[in-house]
Amino acid sequence: MQVRPLQDRVLVKRLEEETKTAGGIIIPDNHTEKPVQGEIVSVGPGYRKEDGSFRELDVKAGDKVLFGKYAGTDVKVEGVDYLIMKEDDILGVLQ
């Protein structure tokens, strides 16, 4: 089963970040407010223009992206966790 995002949304697979201190202590989740990274799995058709056509997104499947910790909505498809967010929630692309 696949997810086709609508409009200007993208489906993102979160890339785990280490949240351990140097000494190896795991910091609980609510103390690490920094943005996270992910890889785009699929993208929507783009922004709807007034005439009904779409303007394509600036990101594409495979892009590694930075976004805010609370961006998007968690979705689970066939037991796998993803995020669906608007392209505007993406801060930048890692190259």
Cα four-point dihedral sign 94, 66, 56, 43: positive
Q: In this structure, which amino acid lies at residue 61?
A: A
Whole-number Å distance between alpha carbons of 86 and 72 = 7
Interaction of residue 19 with a second copy, rule CB under 8 A: no
Contact flags string 32-61 toward a second copy, x per CB under 8 A: --xx--------xx--xxx-x--x--xx--
C-alpha–C-alpha distance, residues 16 and 36, integer Å: 8
Number of residues that bind a second copy (CB under 8 A): 36
Binding site for a second copy (CB under 8 A): 1-7, 9, 11, 34-35, 44-45, 48-50, 52, 55, 58-59, 66, 68, 73-77, 84, 87-88, 90-95
